[in-house]
Structure 1
């Protein structure tokens, strides 16, 4: 084929003649070009009227006022380069051999000149291409940061190809072509949206990979509206505002990394030289990527070791769970450049996660998640995944939450409220014991963590598990020591209560002393001793106030029997524990009475039992600790309270029994004395009368014996 005639390739002697500039190879001239090129002969026609030229050719020549012509092929070492053609607007008798030889010589010299020029042009282009590649290689290999490498590369490509966008796409799993993501999107035009702000069809990866990886061809699209491509790819190009795109694989042999694409927002023709240059650049990009990845991997390993050492140091320097959690989330959040990193501790007793208490945020612009309680019912599936050791990795939260197993309204709403674009949740275990989870959130951009980064997170989770377990063991040991100390203190307190109570003699003295000790021991506002009367009405028998400004309820009925069921233990060993009167007391009259007396939380424990009018054994008196604010009663407090009340009850029982015994003994002795002394006194008086002789002479004979 022949390229169109350029302006500099055509000469006319008169303006009256038509210029052939811009004219390509026509059907009328093909027979002569074949003769010229195919047989390497000079064609000379002194007169078109005296030749066997087809009519269509004659007409064409006449249109251009050509009456005769001579043409010579231009060859360089059997390589056709073109044709030199001389046209005349007059007929010739003949072209002389001298003219033919001269034109042949000119053609031969032209061949040398054209070849030299082409060689120079090719050399110049090769030099320019080498300079471009050298500059790109120098620049991209001068950086070991992958994002910086992509930034430098994109700027160079924009300058070289005069384009508006560079897309670098990665295929992490070549077994699944729908698993792809845009690793870098460089934009210089406001006519196109950024890929992070649109929803793309992952199925486009199948067509894309089939062409550039399987068929090993570049994707060349001059006009997306007219191109024969898959609908999924057409959709993606449309939402990205791309009209023209060329995609080249980034690979070496069978090792495929992804693809490099250059784009415009308008139709554009891509030349072979551009595609060839882009392929060469792509080969260098592969090497730069591998170099940067190798450095990144090495750096990550070093950072990983440093992070783990720092976390281990943090763990070993404290046994406080909050400090451990804070140290880990701060380090992990910084290393992974997360927008939010937080702990969720799992409570085995309730089988649920506790509210978020510890988090890392690089900026106050990121909303805090402290205190957030995820919807338990809808979070159950995620919780089971964590408990089974699975990681929850959502590089694109919006897409992931559309999956059936993740399709929960509450979780979607929570992710939207906190603007979570990517979510990475790592379970924390100690051996087989599930302890909790720490989570990374990215709210500005979608992020894909690679395998090495996930491995680092797992290692951090392992260290966190060890740290949390150590902290838990320390806390358990500390709690045990506290309980032992409290037990010793309680034992001392109980001994004191026992000793002092035994010094008292009356009921009120004993229980007033008990209430006084309980108020100080538990730091409560009020302690009262309650009795049930025969009709099961409840009234206050004894009371001790910490603050004198509190209103006393001594000797007042607390409530009538129909309102006191919640304060009437059914078993003598049962304790009634109320942490918050407002939420735990159901009887409205009782709740109103308690709140009117500033009683917001209380402990109540039976003190004595007896028989009712129906001869049924019932609790007859109780002791009650009252707090003016809601209070979480500890088990250790409950145990001490029960022990103190039981001890006092025993003392009262002993004293009461002793009183009963003393009264019985006194009654018995008085009765015995009366029953024995009365007859003896009578006999003694009778004998005294006999001895005096006043009773007659008949008994005088016995007086001597009676005196003996």
Structure 2
């Protein structure tokens, strides 16, 4: 890498690049050669003249870069402005087609040869050649390769008494050694550029542009760094109004019907805030049917601009990014639109579309209220840049919201699976239906976030009973605290025994209510196999008054109710209530309730199977005990010769086996009267064996029923009686 800031006077002619590559003429035919300095002076004079005619800074830069590139036959020429000691921005570029553009890129100074601005002040013009013998750093090599630079020539541009930037020409298609003449000419071009920049109007415009660029960069940086969309809206309107020196800047968001509302505003002193003061309602009434303006709501002032609404966003949706009006009175707008603009105190406006991805989201509008205004191109460009960044922020917010919602759905899905696993595990490890119901209602209410979850069991007549419940602290318990509260019963009292809408008394102990719809239809749609019944708002569902009153007694405003089946029979319901307000139930929440009800059905079936096995085991055990008792009695009878002892053994063993209070042996006399001859009786009861001797009426009572119509006891043979008794025992 070599650098120089002087020109070698021994050079006799510019190189081929400055002679435009024309072949040399023979000595016999060529005219007297023109002085190379004459050509240089002519080019410089022409350049100065064109620079003097530039009406704007951008035009000045374009003239300088185009002149430099074509004169040197280079691949790229550009103007580089220092923004710090080590960094700068490419403000203008003229390049051949095909090379990577550098315009508006922020690049390190080392890309051009030296590391800092003060290095260029000391050394002047800098040549950088990309060759095997040139010492370049790996970082410089990376930058040179990115922009395909093989050779570079850069010279300082001074402005306002200090180094302002660099004027650069680069060769990308081949390596190139820059001559002393080329170094001299680029320095002359830089000097001409600096003189042009010194002109007062250009200087003022440049400073204003730099100020706007910094301000826009500041606004964009704030937009990018903020995660709160409301803060972004407010920052945007405030900063943009200050930059444009406008009277009002608003952000307007479209609704689904292409009406809209203001979501942010910055307004200067002396002008009415559109967010706080809606237009006069009389204005709306005065508008024609085809041009009415909707009331502006307090929660974000909504305005129905019929032109935008009827054209579904108008020219903004069709791709036009901005609209500029210098004087609304001179545009021929319809009267309704002029009245709206008058209420907005707008005399001139600049409106730019805000796009969220490819979708028109809203409008960013700047208004001049004090009078007409000719909006400059820089105003339009600045507003467009801010609107573009707003669109990026909105898209990022949308992506983040989707990601957050996806994460929430994933967390809820995991929680639902955990809940189902807990319920399933408790069903496997518990034989108590009460404990299972309690676990299901508690887990369901927690994961769904509802006010109440209950288990409702049908009675045989299709009325029902709440047998389990999990309820929030702000609401009545249908099982415990509020079952004796008359207000619950009063809500159903008027419906009791009403034709087609009977609701039976709710008993304190069982909290039973008869829903005639369910009763008359034997369980309604649930019995026919419906997976769930969902209601987002009971007052918007068209329910009959009796059903509304019943739901009100349950404090229900919205519900999801799922059936519980025991095998193929509808056993009950599991309702989930939102008591505080209407609620839209998500499909995942409904599916969770369905899955939990299925688990309850499994638990009920398991409990029923266990009860059946236990009952059968008990019956078998009793049958075995009876057979053993009969065998024991038989053995005692065999071992006993005394009849009275045999009778006593038989009665005692029989009472013990049956668990009754008394067993006696009654012997008939020939006339079908009789006498108790043996007895086993509990301590709490009198002995008939002894009492019959002291109280003759006992036996007389049995004698008086003999031969009474309908109560005759005849011919009970001992063998028949024994056979029948033995058969009954065996059948049991």
Question: Given the two structures, how large is their TM-score scaled by the length of structure 1?
Answer: 0.44
Question: Given the two structures, how large is their TM-score scaled by the length of structure 2?
Answer: 0.42
